[in-house]
Every structure is written in C-alpha cells, then in structure tokens.
Structure 1
C-alpha cells in the first residue's frame, strides 16, 4: 500500500510539530503539509488532495467541523479528529469520524487510529462514509456542537468518561448520584457503578455538569435530584442522605447554597 498523503490541521504549531514527530514512526504516513486554520487547510486540500487529515476541532474562527462542511464530494479524505476536550468525542462519533485522539496524543492510540484508516481507506464504503459525515453537518444536526463560553458541554445528556486507552463511556447525568475527588481524578458514582475520570472538581462544576449538580464540600458534588434528606449538625454543617442511603457531609461553606437550591426545587 502506498503511503497515505496526510495533512495536519491545528491552530497550535507546537501541536503540529509534536504530532509530526510521532507520525514519523509510521511508514504508511507521508505528511504533505500542515495548516493552522480552516482556510489554510482548504487551500492545501485543493492543491494536494490528501488521503487523510488529522483535524483539530477547537480552533479560533472556524472549527474542525466547519472544515468538513466545506469539503467537496469528490475530495472527501479520511478524518481523524484531534482534541484536548474529551466531550468532543461524542460529536466525533455522532458525525461518524473514523476516529478521534485526545491531546496529548499517545503512541498506542495513534497506531490504532492509523491501522483503522489503513484498513478502511480502500473500501468502497469509505467515500460514502465521509459523504455521510459531511451531510450530517450540512443538514444542521450539530445544534449541540458548542455553547457560548464552554468548550466542554457538547453532549447535554451524558457525561463522557475517556481515559485515552478505552472507548468512551457515556454516563447519563440523570444516573449520577454524586461525584467525589481523589487527587487529580474524579469518582463518578451511580446506583450500581463507580467510574473514574481524570478531571478537576472545579472544571466539572463550572464547565461540564448541567444545572442540578451542586458542590457540597471541597471534594464532593451531588445531583440534587437524588437527595433524600438533609439533617443539621453543629457549626452550620449538615448531613446529606441520598436516595441510596449514602451519607455525605455538607460543609459550612456550601450549606446555605444547598438549602436555597433544595428549597427552589421543592417550590418548583
């Protein structure tokens, strides 16, 4: 099989350099150029007709999804999305990209993605596959693509948990009872399971979780839908009991907001 003519698209040149270094280990990849914007990428695509594009999603001005919208039916290359934000994985799958990689790109995942592309590129179904991607985007099925001010909240009903080695796990927000911190990791608890994800509590509560989740301690977030009881302790602290009988401590710092939020829920 001849080497795949490959284009790298990312608004950060350091990311392009890092990916190019990793790709040098793969004989089936021939890098024909790089671009730091959608407009630059489109010019190179017209000139070079690449077989494969490693495409950053989050770029100023026009996103990676905007580039796909501009592709012509006769020149649809294979696409591997590259993103620093795991929530974009949901949209990558929704538009049926061949694969996606989380930054920083790991060699094992890169090898898997390249192998997947190589096995499918000569398939008669591949071009139709990429045309479907383009059609999905052109038909406006990306209403949830982004929300102003947030690069994380792509999927409004599910939390995406991705460790870089395994397929993404999609956990409905409604199923989450509470989340607690363990260093740089979060333990996401449902009635039946506990999932571990690499994240910070502040980022989760500010950028990821929808309304209805509230911080009750420096290391704990609860889903208000699953609160069964709230009992006062000393020093303005509380003991919170969830519907599964799990007991959690509410610190003084967060007790007032919790009472207000629960009162609002009952009033509504």
Structure 2
C-alpha cells in the first residue's frame, strides 16, 4: 500500500484539527505538516514535497488558488480543496483539483476523495494532465499581470470560456454539480442560508446568501424586488399596483411575486428604461 505524505492548509486551527483526526483513520494517509497560511504552506512544500494537500480556499492575504499558482509544476502534489463555499467548485476543477469537499467534511466523502487520489497518483497520464493544468494557470496569471499592450498576441488570443458567466453552478455535498443557464432562471428566493432557484420545469436548492449571489454571480438581467427575492426581468409580464407604492409582478408562468416599496422604483426604471 502506498503511503501519501499529506499537508493540511487552513487558516482555522479547529478545521485543521478536525480534518487531521479524520485522516488519522486512513492507513494510506500520513499527515506530515500543517499550515495556517499560503506562506507557511510554501515553506513546508519546499522542504517536505508532500504527495497530497488538503487545501482551504478562502484564507487571509492569499487564497488556495494563489498557492497553486506558486507551485512548480514538476513538484505539484495532488490537491483536494476543503472549503465552506460551494461557489468555488467550478474553478477548483478547472485547476484539476482531484476533489472538492464542503465543510464540515463527512467521512464518506473524505473516503471517496482519498480513493480518487490513490487512483490518480498511480496513473501517470492523469498526473501529467494535472501538472499541465498547473503550468497553464501559472502562465495565465503571469499574462494577466502584464501591462496592456505588452503582449504582441493580445489581439489574436482567443477569449477564455468561463462557465460562471453563462450558468449558475450549484453544488451541495455529494449531489451532482448542476449547471443552470441564467436565461432559464425565472426567479430566486431566499430561505435563510439557502436559495430556491426556480426555472420553468424545476426548483433547485443551493446553499448561498442572496447578497453574494447578486454581487458576485448573477448577471445584470436579475433585479432585486424584495429583501428575499430577485427576478429575471425578461420573465416579467406586467406590474399590478398595490397600496403604499408596492406592486405585484406577474411573470410569464403566471406566478405573482410581491415587489416591496424599497425596490419598486428601481424596478420600474429598469423596465421602462
């Protein structure tokens, strides 16, 4: 049995301890180091050359993605992201992370991730793909930092496709990743820390906050009509005035949504130009 020397990187000591206790139950895993920042992780990677890193994404000063950009491709270990935020899933897989675990990590999912790591690390072709991906994002990062006009191939370079510009990515735990085209979403309403994403044929549930969806992910065609609701403007058929400067928004599927006074004026400006 191959033993994988493993590094845990997370800015929360409690998260490191919890994950280490779980990893101790797997005989193929040997935790050789723990780091609370990208800088600490780089030092350990250079001295220990781990086979596997369990890597948090959102950390102070530098993120998990920043760490990957600093790795030498030929020394790149296997990467499993461990984070509380599902919205990073697509980018994680774009950099060829072997798995993506949501906190709190469940033992069943952890076992699946370790099995996948063991399979890939024994497969030279998969390892080569991962190394090539790390080299590619490193090159992209360097290109993005160059001054405009310095790259002679700027005009001929093809624009990179970003899935999150076209589709809402929904992932929660073990469920399959759902990719919902924005044009298919009619409205989204909040229920605590969860969002209900409504299309003509189905309603999807995702863990997120409405403000972060509006600020970071939803295109401009979505507008807030209530503290807990956003709607796709293209699906609004008419506005029915109510008392106190409020409205009912009637959608193409005959669904009626309340437009609060706080957001009514901005909605009318968007609809009337």
User: Which band: TM-score by shorter chain?
Assistant: 0.7 to 0.9
Of 174, 178, 183, the residue aligned with 1:165 is: 174
Of 250, 253, 259, the residue aligned with 1:244 is: 253
| 1:159/1:171 contact within 8 Å kept | yes
Residues 182 and 56 of structure 1: is their aligned pair in 2 closer, same or farther, counting only changes over 3 Å? Answer: closer
In the alignment, which residue of structure 1 is the partner of 2:131?
131
User: What is the Cα deviation at residue 192 of structure 1?
Assistant: 1.9
Residues 208 and 8 of structure 1: is their aligned pair in 2 closer, same or farther, counting only changes over 3 Å? Answer: same
TM-score by length of 1: 0.86
Q: Does 1:70 align with 2:79?
A: no
In the alignment, which residue of structure 1 is the partner of 2:109?
109
In the alignment, which residue of structure 1 is the partner of 2:189?
180
| 1:88/1:154 contact within 8 Å kept | no
| 2:10/2:35 contact within 8 Å kept | yes
Question: What is the alpha-carbon distance in structure 2 between the residues aligned to residue 219 and residue 43 of structure 1?
Answer: 45
Residues 73 and 143 of structure 1: is their aligned pair in 2 closer, same or farther, counting only changes over 3 Å? Answer: closer
Question: What is the alpha-carbon distance in structure 2 between the residues aligned to residue 143 and residue 10 of structure 1?
Answer: 28
In the alignment, which residue of structure 2 is the partner of 1:23?
23
Of 205, 209, 217, the residue aligned with 1:196 is: 205
| 1:231/1:238 contact within 8 Å kept | yes
Q: Does 1:51 align with 2:60?
A: no
In the alignment, which residue of structure 1 is the partner of 2:236?
227
State the Cα deviation string for residues 56-83 of structure 1 (Å, max 9, x = none): 2222233222222222233221111122
Question: What is the alpha-carbon distance in structure 1 between the residues aligned to residue 214 and residue 20 of structure 2?
Answer: 35
| Structure 1 spans left out of the alignment, 5+ residues | 145-152
| Structure 2 spans left out of the alignment, 5+ residues | 145-161
Question: What is the alpha-carbon distance in structure 1 between the residues aligned to residue 262 and residue 38 of structure 2?
Answer: 46
Question: What is the alpha-carbon distance in structure 2 between the residues aligned to residue 185 and residue 67 of structure 1?
Answer: 30
What are the equivalent positions in structure 2 for 1:78-89 lying under 5 Å apart? Answer: 78-89=78-89
Aligned length: 256
Question: What is the alpha-carbon distance in structure 2 between the residues aligned to residue 53 and residue 80 of structure 1?
Answer: 6
In the alignment, which residue of structure 1 is the partner of 2:90?
90
State the Cα deviation string for residues 171-216 of structure 1 (Å, max 9, x = none): 2222211012344432101122211112333443344433232222
Q: Does 1:34 align with 2:40?
A: no
| 2:81/2:99 contact within 8 Å kept | yes
CA RMSD, aligned part only? 2.4
User: What is the Cα deviation at residue 9 of structure 1?
Assistant: 1.1
Residues 142 and 80 of structure 1: is their aligned pair in 2 closer, same or farther, counting only changes over 3 Å? Answer: farther
Q: Does 1:258 align with 2:273?
A: no
| 2:236/2:252 contact within 8 Å kept | yes
